[in-house]
Structure 1
Amino acid sequence: MNPGWLHAVTLLWALCPSTRGQCDKSSETSKLNLSVTYELPTFTADFPIENMVTLEGIIYVGTVNRIFALAPNLTKLSEYHTGPLLANETCGRTPTGTGGGSRVDNHNIALVVENIYDKGLYSCGSADNGVCRRHVLDDEDMSPKTVDEQVYCFADKVRQGRGQPSDSDVVVSPSGSQVLNVESNVIKFFVGNSEIPGLEKVSENATHPHTLSLRKMKTSQNGFTFFSNHSYMDLIPPLRGKYYLRYVYSFHSGPFTYFLTVQRVSRNSRAYHTRIVRMCSSDLVIRRYVEMPLECISTDKRRRRSTEDVKVFNILQAAHVAKVGSDVELQKQLKVEEDDDVLFAAFARGKPNSPEPTPNSAVCIMSLKHINNMFKMYMQRCNTVEDVYKRQIIY
């Protein structure tokens, strides 16, 4: 992919000292009353905060071993304990013959809200063998219930005495996951599961989550099911557990669902880069799937371009999609309208042959219209990619 195709507004962080050496002192500084103390609402958790979502003004915070519901002023409304759990436990059951064992912390891998059936919150942890819990938030007085009142382990077919869930109920990976729900007449859950070699220590008897999948909630509302056996695909067997694949961000824009990943350039390469994956949100099976490389490029416009002037930031750290808004200058630079979606992506320059970031970083702002045009050009130039997945179909 030609990096010059990405016409992005680039903000550089920590690349080099300021050329001016110092900032001009503001003439308004003397008018500020620096003795004023501002009291802002705060919430402090006893465990690391890992995910946060909102629904109708209520803030749901996922931490290690806890789910909190907070009011808009950050007052705690309720608290639900998700761990520690027994290492082989699923929905309160453990496999026969494993004994009590030690307890492990339950890290919050995914936190997802839905607003079609009942108002619901799904919390998916690193323990519980990849199964999620569903918190029903509806109440008769139309105000959200507390997060700890009505909670269901979302695995209908946990076998008695064995503690192992069915394949479709195993949602998240201990290495990290991105779970995105797209609401129409039925909620579709798009799930991308990371695979980090050496990080996962999963029992051989445990059900491993699919690398990429599309599923729905059962009509009985007590578990998940796939639309068909074409609603998921996995890394090919020789690569499972050996190929670095990290899902960093997922979002929905227009008719498409997107995932952003960090992975090796190819199965035999030692270099790493970022890719953007696109699928049709309307599909019930994974059939219109395409991915392409994505980079953040910095060039010095003040002098003639040379190899030394081009800085490539290849490892995605975080991202967010939003409307471009009323910033006229940004609209002009990106050639977009006020209601167009843009991707804000924070990249770092990776260490040589490693997905680990260096301190050199940058933020690129990219138009989704432009990215989709790039997908069109990319598919016209190449019909397929290296066979990394069991199912790799690109149209």
Structure 2
Amino acid sequence: MSTQRIYLLVFAPLSMEQRRPWPWATEVDSWSVVLLSVVWVLLARPAAGMPQFSTFHSENRDWTFNHLTVHRGTGSVYVGAINRVYKLTGNLTIQVAHKTGPEEDNKSCYPPLIVQPCSEVLTLTNNVNKLLIIDYPENRLLACGSLYQGVCKLLRLDDLFILVEPSHKKEHYLSSVNKTGTMYGVIVRSEGQDGKLFIGTAVDGKQDYFPTLSSRKLPRDPESSAMLDYELHSDFVSSLIKIPSDTLALVSHFDIFYIYGFASGGFVYFLTVQPETPEGVAINSAGDLFYTSRIVRLCKDDPKFHSYVSLPFGCTRAGVEYRLLQAAYLAKPGDSLAQAFNISSQDDVLFAIFSKGQKQYHHPPDDSALCAFPIRAINLQIKYRLQSCYQGEGNLELNWLLGKDVQCTKAPVPIDDNFCGLDINQPLGGSTPVEGLTLYTTSRDRMTSVASYVYNGYSVVFVGTKSGKLKKIRADGPPHGGVQYETISVLKDGSPILRDMAFSIDQRYLYIMSERQITRVPVESCEQYTTCGECLSSGDPHCGWCALHNMCSRRDKCQRAWEPNRFAASISQCMSLEVHPSSISVSEHSRLLSLVVSDAPDLSEGIACAFGNLTEVEGQVSGSQVICISPGPKDVPVIPLDQDWFGLELQLRSKETGKIFVSTEFKFYNCSAHQL
């Protein structure tokens, strides 16, 4: 029975009315999980010629994937989708499917109908997952959706059991925007204290209901009445920022899209894209908007948000500006990149993807760039901006929030690297961009996602594209920038790779997400290179030549790789073989041949000499020299009458591994062919 027929037998008997939702926290049984696992194994079998990747597919074409995160301790993969949150094993076998929708709702119901009755017409509404964060100390998952004005659930990591679903007060409604990729959250926690959730979100014109940026309490006790309350909230000062109605009156489509966020040192950072707000000029068409990508920084321990600073950022190459942020990822730098930035290999570096220009953010150009920003350089530029403002120079330059030019106030305040603001000169913007180092650009197949880690001292950057490909780039810094050394097709249907990518806990695999498929891709495929030269000229920092096994591999896959010349890491270390004499007469039999192997490992466990397919004899080893005996009378090749020589491959086979590991050409000649 074919795979396709098995698939049909599983699903065909069920009508739409008969189909039950997938198992969720209170509905999972062992047979359901077994059945689902079998189905996914069948669906995941690759077509002929496609790489064999582990995959997990959307159960319903319309219930697309939104977010992905990997637990750094257990390796479990958590996926946020429309109407579902999934828990998967590291090899993408389903463990739990938790239902989050669809439910009866209407975006105009405020407060939502789960709190009080609503007179609006209700329709069955999908729940888009907009936020998926692991709260590690408390062993729980925060999942926020688009239903009911954007309420969140805290789920137990083990089984996705609902710990709490706070929904009874306005602080619990984050945003009713039903598009993914518009919200980002960062959890920070000081030793021995409750956590805090910093959250930025698009608000879709509902600035009265939802702040665009806020910090909220995240108590240990899921039943705490303070869950998701603003960290500080009073008539005069609060832990939030709202988009002013005057800004929306001026730019009707104004919103702030939160693309990425992270904590580094004593700060929390958000990376945003937002329309520019030219002073006094009304813009009513979304197509007329110019967009700016910005870095927003806050101190972790600043509930008054006095430390709010926002600067534009991007990069350029050959006069082309890349200003539309697509994706970003915080990582450590490799040795050469750290040296280029004059930072430590323990410092943080932000890798970011930008599209060209500042127009059409929702349909960005294919021309895109991979850029790198040391966090230290970002902080330095923010410090200079603060110092300039506190010297009374210029304006606060934050028109969208302040609505007018506000002069910087001169104040004799020492501003060091940890300055967290006062009640003056805040919130602070700027117009001078933070410029990153452009590592790599492409004019087609727009880059859409990025992830990076350090392997053997190299920064390795993985970039997803609009057509479902994965680019592998070695980020060396100047003068070469980023070297693309491999591109693989991950999605045979050409679907775009979405923003979230994550490594497995052993960093051997990368999890990649499209709308309908999660794919586990090995970070390297060294085995595709079949010679030492191919292997060590590939540019892949994972790959070296395992000499006696005659294979390209990672160092940790090569037995006894630590021994001299067992594992070649540069092309100059590839073995070569010289034979003396390099040719003999066909009439000479059983001649002693001296073979010298350059860059040879220890050969003392034995070598066999193979003369093509003719014969194989034992070799006598002395260091890197091998003595072989040429073929006897019965094994000497027959040279055709119209030729005066015959060549074959003289190969050395390791008795330790059974593999042929080096070879050279050897000739038999026949001088009698020239006799009259």
Task: Name the TM-score, length of structure 1 as normaliser.
Answer: 0.75
Give 2:134's aligned residue.
113
Report how far residue 244 of structure 1 moved: 3.0
Could you say what secondary structure the match of 1:279 adopts? strand
Query: Deviations for 1:151-204, whole angstroms, at most 9, x for unmatched residues?
Result: 43122xx2xxxxxxx12211244152111111222211001111456xxxx7xx
After superposition, the Cα gap between the structure-2 partners of 1:278 and 1:333, relative to the gap in structure 1 and judged at 3 Å, is: same
User: What one-letter code is carried by the residue in structure 2 that aligns with 1:344?
Assistant: F
Question: Which of these residues, 280, 287, 290, is aligned with residue 271 of structure 1?
Answer: 290
Report how far residue 366 of structure 1 moved: 1.1
CA distance in 2: counterparts of 1:101 and 1:207, whole angstroms:
23
Moved more, 74-83 or 279-288: 279-288
CA distance in 2: counterparts of 1:154 and 1:267, whole angstroms:
39
Moved more, 57-66 or 94-103: 94-103
After superposition, the Cα gap between the structure-2 partners of 1:131 and 1:356, relative to the gap in structure 1 and judged at 3 Å, is: same
Unaligned runs of 5+ in 1: 1-34, 138-144, 159-165, 300-309
Report how far residue 264 of structure 1 moved: 2.3
Give 1:167's aligned residue.
170
Give 2:54's aligned residue.
41
Give 1:21's aligned residue.
none
After superposition, the Cα gap between the structure-2 partners of 1:366 and 1:173, relative to the gap in structure 1 and judged at 3 Å, is: farther
Moved more, 79-88 or 173-182: 173-182
Query: Is the counterpart of residue 225 in structure 1 residue 225 in structure 2?
Result: no
User: What one-letter code is carried by the residue in structure 2 that aligns with 1:68?
Assistant: Y
CA distance in 2: counterparts of 1:216 and 1:331, whole angstroms:
36
- Work out the percentage of aligned pairs sharing the same amino acid: 27
Give 1:150's aligned residue.
162
User: What one-letter code is carried by the residue in structure 2 that aligns with 1:52?
Assistant: L
Query: Is the counterpart of residue 298 in structure 1 residue 311 in structure 2?
Result: no
CA distance in 1: counterparts of 2:86 and 2:117, whole angstroms:
33
Report how far residue 331 of structure 1 moved: 1.8
Give 1:191's aligned residue.
199
CA distance in 1: counterparts of 2:293 and 2:51, whole angstroms:
41
Give 1:182's aligned residue.
188
Give 2:151's aligned residue.
131
After superposition, the Cα gap between the structure-2 partners of 1:364 and 1:153, relative to the gap in structure 1 and judged at 3 Å, is: same
Report how far residue 267 of structure 1 moved: 4.7
Query: Is the counterpart of residue 82 in structure 1 residue 93 in structure 2?
Result: no
Aligned positions of 1:1-395 closer than 5 A: 39-46=52-59, 47-55=63-71, 56-88=74-106, 93=114, 95-98=116-119, 101-116=122-137, 118-137=138-157, 145-147=158-160, 149-155=161-167, 158=168, 166-174=169-177, 176-184=182-190, 185-196=193-204, 208-218=209-219, 220-222=221-223, 223-229=227-233, 230-240=238-248, 242-268=253-279, 270-299=289-318, 310-324=319-333, 327-350=334-357, 352=359, 356-382=363-389, 384-389=396-401, 393-394=426-427
Report how far residue 207 of structure 1 moved: 7.4
CA distance in 2: counterparts of 1:295 and 1:330, whole angstroms:
18
Report how far residue 208 of structure 1 moved: 2.0
* Residues 86 and 100 in structure 1, CA contact (< 8 A), matched pair in contact too: no
Could you say what secondary structure the match of 1:262 adopts? strand
User: What one-letter code is carried by the residue in structure 1 that aligns with 2:123?
Assistant: S
User: What one-letter code is carried by the residue in structure 2 that aligns with 1:231?
Assistant: S
Work out the number of aligned pairs and report it.
Answer: 324
CA distance in 2: counterparts of 1:80 and 1:385, whole angstroms:
45
Could you say what secondary structure the match of 1:294 adopts? strand
Unaligned runs of 5+ in 2: 1-47, 282-288, 391-395, 403-422, 429-676
Could you say what secondary structure the match of 1:42 adopts? strand
Higher-RCO chain (CA-CA 8 Å, sequence separation at least 6):
1
Report how far residue 39 of structure 1 moved: 3.7
Task: Name the TM-score, length of structure 2 as normaliser.
Answer: 0.45
Query: Deviations for 1:331-384, whole angstroms, at most 9, x for unmatched residues?
Result: 222222111100000000146476641111001011111111111122233452
Give 2:475's aligned residue.
none
Moved more, 228-237 or 375-384: 375-384
Report how far residue 283 of structure 1 moved: 1.9
Could you say what secondary structure the match of 2:329 adopts? strand
User: What one-letter code is carried by the residue in structure 2 that aligns with 1:152?
Assistant: V
User: What one-letter code is carried by the residue in structure 1 that aligns with 2:379?
Assistant: N
CA distance in 1: counterparts of 2:96 and 2:113, whole angstroms:
22
Q: CA RMSD in A?
A: 2.7
CA distance in 2: counterparts of 1:220 and 1:186, whole angstroms:
9
